[in-house]
């Protein structure tokens, strides 16, 4: 059961992590009480997650806030020790943090920075070159490649504190990938970036994945990142994996129907369109309806024969809508997680 698939880049079985949290009532009296009698409770952040990733696979890791994504990625990169379960990454046990393992992986956290703030990014790159013992030729070749793909020319010699958020993120990525890791853990790499910069980061990750056949686990609240890069998604909720499959399968999971968009030659009233589905938009020559998934073909056929239709398209709901539906209960996540831990 815990034997990794022979070619797995990442092998995870029944991985768990609990945090012990100190509880304190608010205010001065609460502080005094906790000083005398310290109360703790367990929060089960990850509770029995299992999956395998093949070399070169790019996977989106999705879930609401507090679901356990960062905790999982920290365990896989060896920053946190699991409470129980098995993890193997590139053939290594992450918790040992062996030098050979660290050369194979990288963890990029969009909300944290590793570059030295008061120095140019170039200086941090040189530090990483020394840490990872990157030969000069390889270092120069990688720098040329990253400068080209990320458009780093002109920003490498500026103090990091003077870079824009997007420029800094590009440098963070370059620093984190300079040693050409084979497994990438990317935690919100595009957070706060504008649309163009998000696209640049996606392009870079795609290019790196293709060039080095790197395995990538990506968390992002921007669904565009996930749809652009990953075919497979893992969805975690309250510390447990609730979906592992392709994006299309996740969309199918939603009970929401499909969207039919119409271009009409003659305007139709909302009341008339309501016979075919739930009207989202009507009036004039364009209209949008939501129809139950199983009914799409029949309703589309009726629309085409009964109305004067110039064009008709059928679309899946946006992935954001599916996620919102899946996690409509997300405010109860914490309650449930604690109920699980307390055996309630």
Are the CB atoms for 303 and 313 separated by under 8 Å?
A: no
Q: Burial-class residue 250 by CB neighbours within 10 Å (0-12, 13-18, 19+).
A: buried
Q: Please state the closest distance from residue 242 (CB atom) to ligand ATP, in A.
A: 13
Check residue 76 for interaction with ligand ATP (CB under 6 A).
Answer: no
Q: Which segment (34-42, 69-77, 89-97, 160-168) binds ligand ATP by CB under 6 A? A: 69-77
Pick the closest to residue 239 from 335, 173, 328 (CA basis).
335
Check residue 251 for interaction with ligand ATP (CB under 6 A).
Answer: no
Q: Please state the closest distance from residue 244 (CB atom) to ligand ATP, in A.
A: 16
Two tokens, residue 201: 């980061």
The angle formed by the CA atoms of residues 115, 171 and 100, to the nearest 5 degrees, is: 70
Q: Please state the closest distance from residue 63 (CB atom) to ligand ATP, in A.
A: 5
Q: Please state the closest distance from residue 71 (CB atom) to ligand ATP, in A.
A: 3
Check residue 247 for interaction with ligand ATP (CB under 6 A).
Answer: no
Q: Please state the closest distance from residue 138 (CB atom) to ligand ATP, in A.
A: 33
Q: Which segment (30-38, 64-72, 130-138, 223-231) binds ligand ATP by CB under 6 A? A: 64-72
Give the residue with the Cβ less far from ligand ATP, 64 or 257.
Answer: 64
Check residue 242 for interaction with ligand ATP (CB under 6 A).
Answer: no
3-class secondary-structure state, position 140: helix
3-class secondary-structure state, position 144: helix
Check residue 77 for interaction with ligand ATP (CB under 6 A).
Answer: no
Q: Which position among 21, 274, 280, 339 is part of the footprint of ligand ATP (CB under 6 A)? A: 21
Check residue 70 for interaction with ligand ATP (CB under 6 A).
Answer: yes
Q: Which position among 63, 82, 166, 189 is part of the footprint of ligand ATP (CB under 6 A)? A: 63
Phi and psi for 19 in degrees, rounded to 5?
Answer: -110, 140
Lookup result for tokens 């024969």: 305
Phi and psi for 335 in degrees, rounded to 5?
Answer: -55, -45
Give the residue with the Cβ less far from ligand ATP, 64 or 120.
Answer: 64
Name, in order, each residue with C-beta under 8 angstroms of 263's C-beta and a sequence gap of 6 or more. 285, 286, 309, 310, 311, 312
Phi and psi for 171 in degrees, rounded to 5?
Answer: -65, -40
Q: Which position among 10, 58, 67, 87 is part of the footprint of ligand ATP (CB under 6 A)? A: 67
Q: Which position among 9, 71, 146, 291 is part of the footprint of ligand ATP (CB under 6 A)? A: 71
Q: Please state the closest distance from residue 188 (CB atom) to ligand ATP, in A.
A: 7
Lookup result for tokens 């815990």: 2
3-class secondary-structure state, position 311: strand
Check residue 19 for interaction with ligand ATP (CB under 6 A).
Answer: yes
Phi and psi for 216 in degrees, rounded to 5?
Answer: -130, 130
Pick the closest to residue 264 from 288, 286, 290 (CA basis).
286
Q: Please state the closest distance from residue 179 (CB atom) to ligand ATP, in A.
A: 25
Chain residues binding ligand ATP by CB under 6 A are 19, 21, 43, 45, 63, 65-71, 334
């Amino acid at each position: 059961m815990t034997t990794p698939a022979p070619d797995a880049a990442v092998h995870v079985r029944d991985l768990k992590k609990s945090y012990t949290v100190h509880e304190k009532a608010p205010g001065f009296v609460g502080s005094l009480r906790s000083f005398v009698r310290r109360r703790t409770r367990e929060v089960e952040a990850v509770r029995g997650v299992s999956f395998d990733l093949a070399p070169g696979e790019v996977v989106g890791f999705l879930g609401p806030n507090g679901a356990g994504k960062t905790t999982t990625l920290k365990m896989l990169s060896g920053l946190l020790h699991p409470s129980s379960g098995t993890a193997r990454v590139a053939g290594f046990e992450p918790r040992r943090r062996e030098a050979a393992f660290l050369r194979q992986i990288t963890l990029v956290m969009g909300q944290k920075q590793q570059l030295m703030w008061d120095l140019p990014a170039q200086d941090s790159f040189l530090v990483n070159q020394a840490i990872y013992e990157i030969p000069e030729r390889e270092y120069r070749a990688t720098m040329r490649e990253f400068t080209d793909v990320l458009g780093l020319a002109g920003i490498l010699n500026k103090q990091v504190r003077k870079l824009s958020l997007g420029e800094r993120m590009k440098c963070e990525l370059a620093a984190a990938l300079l040693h050409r890791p084979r497994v990438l853990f990317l935690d919100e790499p595009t957070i706060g970036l504008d649309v163009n910069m998000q696209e640049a980061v996606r392009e870079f990750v795609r290019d790196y994945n293709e060039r080095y056949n790197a395995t990538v686990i990506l968390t992002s609240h921007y669904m565009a990142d996930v749809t652009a890069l990953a075919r497979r998604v893992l969805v975690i909720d309250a510390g447990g994996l609730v979906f592992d499959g392709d994006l299309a399968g996740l969309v199918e999971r939603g009970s929401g129907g499909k969207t039919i968009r119409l271009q009409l030659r003659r305007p139709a009233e909302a009341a008339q369109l309501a016979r075919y589905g739930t009207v989202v938009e009507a009036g004039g020559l364009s209209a949008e309806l939501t129809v139950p998934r199983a009914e799409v073909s029949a309703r589309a056929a009726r629309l085409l024969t009964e109305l004067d239709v110039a064009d008709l398209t059928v679309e899946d709901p946006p992935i954001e809508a599916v996620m919102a539906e899946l996690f409509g209960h997300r405010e109860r996540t914490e309650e449930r997680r604690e109920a699980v831990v307390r055996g309630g």
